[in-house]
């Protein structure tokens, strides 16, 4: 158990008896990238407080800044994270041309009804994000991408007992219209949990395309 999880466990007892303390504790757990919970009788009730910045900030930057510079600015926090990163707890660990690494600490709020991290958090969120960002790192200003399809192989299930995961995405081929990337999700001792591939369609990002369906395919 790491320090953050230990602190969470210690505070839960106080939260259970002091409802006014919940708001403060929720903000603390969120800053640590954790889901928070309060024990009420025999039930454990979890909650999260999510904050994000206007996604249009990154949309404007993607039209004015090349992909590598934009991602490096997000890594160093000179630009805000995408809202999906705030929602899930993903964070950049490394950014270079053709290669992006993101981390994620499994949390109970990622769980499915079977008591493990939902496959969509791994596949359609983490692996898709790290592969797409690897592709984005190769693009000039004004160019974007969209996932055409994603193929993921799940190797092992994930639970909160795994302190942290690292997803590494690499570009396999970058063409004029299509780029292909691969990714692997690993935990401690380089243990493999999932891997996948994706083709991405490369697009022109016009002045009105962010947040709409108006991205125009490069002719």
Q: What is the pLDDT of residues 170-200, one digit of tens each?
A: 999 999 999 999 999 999 889 999 999 999 9
Q: Which domain holds residue 60?
A: 56-217
Q: C-alpha 55: how far from its chain's center?
A: 15
85 contact partners, CB below 8 Å, separation of at least 6? 91, 129
Q: What local confidence, expressed as pLDDT, does residue 217 receive?
A: 39
Indicate the SS3 state at residue 105.
coil
Are the C-beta atoms of 108 and 35 separated by less than 8 Å? yes
Q: How confident is the model at residue 45, as a pLDDT?
A: 75
CATH number of the structural domain spanning residue 96:
3.10.129.10
| Statement: residue 214 has pLDDT above 80 | no
The verdict on 41 and 61 lying in the same domain is no
Alpha carbon distance 26, 38 (integer Å)? 10
Q: Is the pLDDT of residue 208 over 80?
A: no
| Consecutive H or E run containing 15 | helix 3-17
Max intra-chain CA distance, the chain: 63
Residue that has been written with the tokens 């799940």 in this structure: 154
CB 89 within 8 A of CB 66: no
- Among 11, 30, 47, which residue terminates a domain? 47
Nearest in space to 13 (alpha carbons), one of 28, 4, 25, 23: 25
Which 3-state string (H, E, C) describes 95-119?
Answer: EECCEEEEEECCCHHHECCCCCECH
In a shared domain, residues 113 and 144: yes
pLDDT at residue 144 greater than cutoff 60: yes
Q: Is the pLDDT of residue 76 over 80?
A: yes
| Signed CA dihedral, 150, 165, 96, 144: sign only | positive
What CA–CA distances, in Å, run from 50 to 28, 104, 143? 12, 16, 29
Please give the tally of structural domains in the chain. Answer: 2
My answer on whether 99 and 167 are in the same domain is: yes
Question: Do 79 and 35 lie in a common domain?
Answer: no
Rounded to whole angstroms, the Cα distance separating 171 from 180 reads 6
- Smallest CA-to-CA distance from 162 within 115, 106, 121, 104 is with 106
Judged against a pLDDT cut of 90, whether residue 117 lies above it is answered with yes
Average pLDDT, the chain: 83
pLDDT confidence of 11, banded at 50, 70, 90? low
Q: Are residues 9 and 78 in the same domain?
A: no
For the ranges 27-36, 85-94, 167-176, which has the lowest average pLDDT? 27-36
The full DSSP string for 114-143 is TSSB-HHIIIIIIIHHHHHHHHHTTPPTTE
Residues 69 and 123 both lie in one domain? yes
Burial of residue 40 (CB within 10 Å: 0-12, 13-18, 19+) is exposed
- Over residues 62-73, the mean pLDDT reads 96
Looking at the fold, whether 167 and 138 belong to one and the same domain comes out as yes
């Amino acid at each position: 158990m790491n320090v953050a999880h230990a602190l969470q466990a210690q505070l839960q007892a106080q939260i259970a008896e002091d409802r006014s303390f919940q708001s403060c504790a929720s903000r603390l757990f969120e800053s640590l990238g954790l889901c928070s919970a309060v024990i009420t009788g025999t039930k454990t009730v979890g909650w999260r407080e999510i904050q994000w910045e206007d996604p249009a900030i990154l949309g404007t930057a993607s039209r004015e800044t090349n992909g590598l510079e934009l991602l490096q600015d997000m890594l160093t926090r000179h630009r805000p994270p995408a809202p999906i990163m705030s929602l899930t707890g993903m964070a950049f660990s490394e950014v270079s041309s053709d290669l992006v690494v993101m981390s994620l600490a499994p949390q109970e709020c990622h769980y499915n009804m079977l008591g493990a991290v939902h496959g969509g958090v791994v596949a359609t969120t983490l692996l898709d994000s790290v592969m797409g960002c690897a592709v984005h790192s190769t693009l000039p200003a004004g160019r974007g991408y969209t996932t055409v399809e994603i193929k993921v192989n799940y190797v092992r299930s994930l639970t909160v007992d795994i302190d942290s995961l690292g997803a590494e995405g690499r570009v396999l081929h970058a063409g004029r219209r299509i780029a292909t990337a691969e990714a692997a999700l690993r935990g401690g001792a380089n243990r493999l949990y999932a891997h996948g591939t994706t083709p991405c369609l490369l697009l022109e990002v016009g002045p009105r395309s962010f947040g709409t369906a108006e991205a125009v395919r490069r002719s």
